[in-house]
Amino acid sequence: MDEQELPLAGIRIVEFSHMVMGPAVGVILADLGADVIKVEPIGGDQTRRLLGSGAGYFPMFNRNKRSICLDLKSAKGVDAARRLAEKADIVIENFRPGTLDRLGLGYEALRAINERLIYCSAKGFLPGPYENRTALDEVTQMMGGLAYMTGPPGRPLRAGSSVIDITGGMFGVIGVLAALERRHRTGQGGEVKCSLYETTAFLVGQHMAQKAVTGRAAAPMPVRISAWAIYDVFETANADEQLFVGVVSDSQWQAFCRAFGFDALAAEPAYATNNQRVMARDTLLPRVRALFETMSRADLVAKLEMIGLPFAAIVRPEDLFDDPHLTASNGLVDVTIPGGEATRLPALPIAFDDERPALRHDIPAIDQNGADILREIGFGEEDIAELTRIAVAG
């Protein structure tokens, strides 16, 4: 897809962010074609240097952006940031409440110089009693009930990805795009806020609704009463090759029984409807488990795919590097990670006219685009040289 054909071509965004949630907002909009300028502190975003589970944050959420380093504790740095915002369509920030306000870079201050500006703040909480608390993805998973639902009873367990940071960022993008559409009608910008805690509450809303409908609280997922009888992870002939299988309709039940030789079960009136089968789950599951343990996963997959049932091999994230579907459908984009090594990371999970948004700018080096960006907002060469020296010295 040509760069000018991307949905957000021509939209300029200034991103004051770190870690995951704010950068997630920025990378989605960048992949959609916006010019995203990432403002980093002198010496670069500390997220670049995280170890362990944080080592993948910067590479995953900062492609298709340009980098500039500014000292926001200096008058010249703040002036440059304000001039960036004056020419921007959107500002993204995810610092503690009040941080950018104290620097003169909050919504009210920037709206005064750019009435068309859309200002997106990604926070731990929306306004209310908790809004000044410090929050993290894991904190809100715990206090919002998601960790309780994920782990077994008495052992709350966070989801195995930064699911709230990323989903919260997605809600931020939804808000930004809605505000952009409103601006088309009114000419006015506005303030958008997204948050970790309220995102968690939205995600567990289905369990709240279950309590309201049934009068019984939802059990944690490992001990839940499933809505379907065959809806579980199964062992195969090779203990290292597990498989999830779901049979979620009466017609699928009949197809499943025919394919796997359970004709007697298919003809049994006591198992005719889904709810009947759920009540008989303790009888049905052992028979299915016993059969699957005699078959290879490859044979099971071939049969399940042929009859069109939901299934999934249990894989690890690193297995996706070689996933045949992702590799054949431009589902992975080529990027260069710290140290100069090339790798491939997941593309935005959206297609426009069957084309996936691609890489336009590799993951930027620290202040890689600083001089060019400063020229674009009217700085002279002497000031550019000074600001660039400061950025490099850091």
Pick the CATH number of 3-203+329-393 from 3.90.1640.30, 3.30.70.100, 3.40.50.620, 3.40.50.10540: 3.40.50.10540
* Structure tokens that stand for 311 in this block: 């299934």
Does the predicted TM-score (pTM) go above 0.85?
yes
Chain mean position to CA 39: 21
3-203+329-393 and 226-317, same CATH topology = no
Partners of residue 193 on adjacent β-strands = 121
- DSSP characters over 265-310: HHH-GGGSSHHHHHHTHHHHHHHHHHHHTTS-HHHHHHHHHHHT--
**How do the residues of the chain divide into helix, strand and coil, expressed in percent and rounded to 5?**
45, 15, 40
Q: What is the pLDDT of residue 393?
A: 64
Task: Express each pLDDT in 135-182 by its tens digit.
Answer: 999 999 999 999 999 999 999 999 999 999 999 999 999 999 999 999
Longest CA span, the chain: 85
Chain mean position to CA 368: 26
pLDDT category at 392 given cuts 50, 70, 90 is low
Task: Express each pLDDT in 327-354 by its tens digit.
Answer: 999 999 999 998 899 999 999 999 999 9
Average pLDDT value for residue range 224-233: 92
Residue whose token pair is 């002198």: 42
Number of residues in the chain: 394
Each domain of the chain, given as residue ranges in start order, spans 3-203+329-393, 226-317
CATH code, residues 226-317? 3.30.1540.10
Amino acid at 290: A
pLDDT category at 239 given cuts 50, 70, 90 is confident
Partners of residue 115 on adjacent β-strands = none
Residue whose token pair is 């989903």: 167
Task: Express each pLDDT in 302-324 by its tens digit.
Answer: 999 999 999 999 999 999 999 99
Task: Express each pLDDT in 78-115 by its tens digit.
Answer: 999 999 999 999 999 999 999 999 999 999 999 999 99
Question: Distance between CA 154 and CA 160 in Å, rounded?
Answer: 18
State residue 344 phi and psi, 5-degree precision.
-130, 130
CA dihedral 7, 12, 17, 23 (to 10 degrees): 20
